[in-house]
Amino acid sequence: MGDAVIEAAALTKTFTRAGGVLRRRARTAVTAVDAVSFTVRRGEFVGYLGPNGAGKSTTIKMLTGILAASSGSLTVCGLDPSRRRTALARRIGVVFGQRTTLWWDLPLRDSLTLVRRLYRVEAAAHRTRLAELTALLELEPFLATPVRQLSLGQRMRGDLAAALLHDPELLVLDEPTIGLDVVSKATVREFLARINAERGTTILLTTHDLGDIERLCRRVMIIDHGRLAYDGGLGELRRTVGADRVLVVELDRPAPPIALDGIEAERADGPRQWLRLPPAANAAAVIAALAARYDVRDIALRETGIEDVLASLYRGDRAYGRPAPGGQRSSAE
Amino acid sequence: MADPAGAARMYALLAWTWIRAAAQYPVSLAMLTAGTAVVTGLDVAAIALMFTRAPRIAGFDVAEALFLYGTATLSFGIADLVLGSTERLGEHVRRGTLDAMLVRPVSPLIQVATEEYSPRRVGKLVPAVTVLALALPRLDTTWTPGRVAMVPAMVAAGAFIFGGLWVLAGAVQFVLLESRGATKALTYGGGFLTQYPMSMFARDLVRGVTFVVPLAFVNWQPALYVLDRPDPLGLPGAARFASPAVAALVCAVAAVAWRAGLRHYRSTGS
Ligand SMILES: Nc1ncnc2c1ncn2[C@@H]1O[C@H](COP(=O)(O)OP(=O)(O)OP(=O)(O)O)[C@@H](O)[C@H]1O
Ligand SMILES: [Mg+2]
């Protein structure tokens, strides 16, 4: 497996919450990451999702060597992160949406120059790279501004530039679009998609933003209560959790619930009724049958959005189904 | 640190960056510098006064006592100059801001130590140097080459011992978040203790700072050699030359503790 950038096997992190030095018995253990195993290959773009407190940030801190794992094995760029943290730092870029890694009092340009020297990037390579990043992230207007005075969106773009100046193999981002407006989000997404496609930079990102997921992540991993609950394509996720299609039927007048070849209306509101289609159902045939038997004024077919899928998964309304290798379920289409 | 030259370069680079950042606020820089100059001037005046008034302390005459004071403050000042801001480590640990330092390819020790580095820190060395300059020519001792060489050696060894203690104090803060007061007692308390002839203190305390926290090796033991005095504790003569070895030991212990501390760093939940 020469092209694995991240290899995690039974990766576990347990935090003990001490009740104070003298109250040893009050200790409790929280397993933030529980035997998580996955592999990320070169060039992949992976979304690492999960509800609040699921263990995403904790995983990222282990990947970057900030936290030592409690057990399990972890290799990032061929290195053990907690033992070879400094060596690893030269090969990866890290961005925390919540917290800057730039120097608060330095103008952005000086921060970036300092990054160059810390990472020992050659001056010529740095110039080209900086020009490129400045253009892509539109940094020019605030290069001379101290980081402390930057707006959140500007700072985020500065952080991204700083994380990529040394041309890392792997970019790890913890909620990079948190708090950004739609335009800044679009800039950041566009940028991430580009460096992944053009430079082949492997990217792992956590986010609660559905736009990020739909726009960027071909593969998603969902962690819940510290356990890896799903790992696969975004499309398969929709299918495996039975991301249903719903027909919204508008009748001429209020009527008793529709019943049609085993499909029943699950909700009615005046003349409007909602029919949930089984995965195997042929929507066209159902619509034709409906039109033949009822006075239908209008029909709309709605796919369940990724938002609904995640919400019901996080709430525990539905079980995560792991996509079988090779995607057996595609025959159901 | 595997590569001392590289570490020193990074230290210089970061310190220089902070100095330039401070230069963005010229007014506050000027005021702080003026403040330091005033405090330093008062220190030097107080010392000059001591030379005229101070009685013998615990069997040591004024020049000898001030030699001890000068070597201790100089060693402490050098360690403070280089590593003093590591006492903020606890703050970074508590707030989780250490995370950002840990993803950079430079030791977080260097990053914390250089934080808000200011050339004013050098000002703290002025009183120490003044005292030594005044005390050395007044010492009533035979200046053999060994004794002459011992003076810079003991200052350097003392600086390493204090430096090791700073790092050790930092390492403790990884685990005990509220230990800033306790660790301050160790570093600043140690700085205070070594300013006086050890024969002033109770024997148990002197034993403690000889064998537990080896502060007696900062300047007391080598000074006994420079001043040609008997040891009140009756330690063998070799103890007077042990400071470099003790310094190496303290630094080794500090390095191990630092690594262990980093391993126990748990970041914050958000
Ligand atoms: N430093 C810490 N000490 C103790 N417990 C922690 C620490 N960091 C995280 N935890 C706990 O570990 C669990 C996972 O936290 P983590 O920050 O990884 O969640 P997350 O998936 O990033 O959540 P969010 O989406 O809210 O950022 C939580 O129960 C949290 O309380
Ligand atoms: Mg998080």
Contact B266/A at CB under 8 A: yes
Across the interface, whether the CB atoms of B104 and A103 are under 8 A apart is answered no
CA of A58 to the centre of ligand 2 (A): 7
Whether the per-residue pLDDT at A330 is higher than 50: the answer is no
Give the per-residue pLDDT at B180: 63
More confident residue, A311 or A126: A126
Relative orientation angle of helices A182-194 and A123-137, to the nearest 10 degrees: 140
Give the per-residue pLDDT at B155: 92
The pLDDT tens digits for B71-105 are 988 998 899 889 888 888 888 888 888 999 999 99
What pTM value is reported for the model? Answer: 0.81
Instruction: Name which of B144, B138, B162 is nearest B225 in CA terms.
Output: B144
Compute CA B262 distance to the chain's CA centroid, rounded to the nearest angstrom: 23
Contact B212/A at CB under 8 A: no
Give the per-residue pLDDT at B51: 64
Lowest mean pLDDT segment, chosen from A86-100, A137-151, A294-308: A294-308
Beta strands in chain B (DSSP E): none
Mean pLDDT to the nearest integer, B6-20: 88
Q: How far is B158 from chain A (nearest CA, A)?
A: 30
**A170, A5 contact by CB (below 8 A):** yes
The pLDDT tens digits for B126-168 are 888 888 888 888 888 888 888 888 889 999 999 999 999 889 8
Which residues form the pocket of ligand 1, taking CB atoms under 6 Å from any ligand atom? Answer: A 15, 30, 32, 50, 52-58; B 266-269
Counting beta carbons within 10 angstroms of the beta carbon of residue B52, is it exposed (0 to 12), middle (13 to 18) or buried (19 or more)? exposed
Q: Which residues contact A330 (CB under 8 A, 6 or more apart)?
A: A239
User: Which residue type occupies A316?
Assistant: G
Q: What is the maximal distance between C-alpha atoms in chain A? A: 77
For residue A20, name the pLDDT band (cuts at 50, 70, 90): low
- Between strands A202-206 and A45-49, the pairing is parallel
The pLDDT tens digits for B37-48 are 787 777 777 766
Residues 216-245 (B) with a CB less than 8 A from some CB of A: none
Distance between CA A16 and CA A50 in Å, rounded? 22
Mean pLDDT to the nearest integer, B169-173: 86
Whether the per-residue pLDDT at A333 is higher than 70: the answer is no
Q: How far is B92 from chain A (nearest CA, A)?
A: 13
Give the per-residue pLDDT at B226: 83
Mean pLDDT to the nearest integer, A31-56: 92
Whether the per-residue pLDDT at A19 is higher than 60: the answer is no
**A97, A132 contact by CB (below 8 A):** no
Give the per-residue pLDDT at A206: 94
Chain A positions in Cβ-Cβ contact with residue B176 (cut-off 8 Å) = 21
User: What is the domain partition of chain B in residue ranges?
Assistant: 4-264
For residue A326, name the pLDDT band (cuts at 50, 70, 90): very low
For residue B28, name the pLDDT band (cuts at 50, 70, 90): confident
Cα atoms in the Cβ-side hemisphere of radius 13 Å centred on B202: 3
Across the interface, whether the CB atoms of A99 and B99 are under 8 A apart is answered yes
Across the interface, whether the CB atoms of A68 and B99 are under 8 A apart is answered no
Chain A positions in Cβ-Cβ contact with residue B100 (cut-off 8 Å) = 96, 99-101
The pLDDT tens digits for A24-35 are 556 788 899 999
Q: What are phi and psi of A53, to 5 degrees?
A: 75, 10
Distance between CA A88 and CA A316 in Å, rounded? 37
Instruction: For residue B198, give Cα distances in angstroms to A115, B87, B220, B233.
Output: 48, 27, 7, 10
The per-residue pLDDT of chain B, averaged, comes to: 82
DSSP track, B58-89: TTB-HHHHHHHHHHHHHHHHHHHHHHGGGGGH
For residue A329, name the pLDDT band (cuts at 50, 70, 90): very low
Contact B263/A at CB under 8 A: yes
Q: pLDDT above 90 covers what percent of chain A?
A: 39
Q: Which residues pair with A48 in a beta bridge?
A: A206, A221
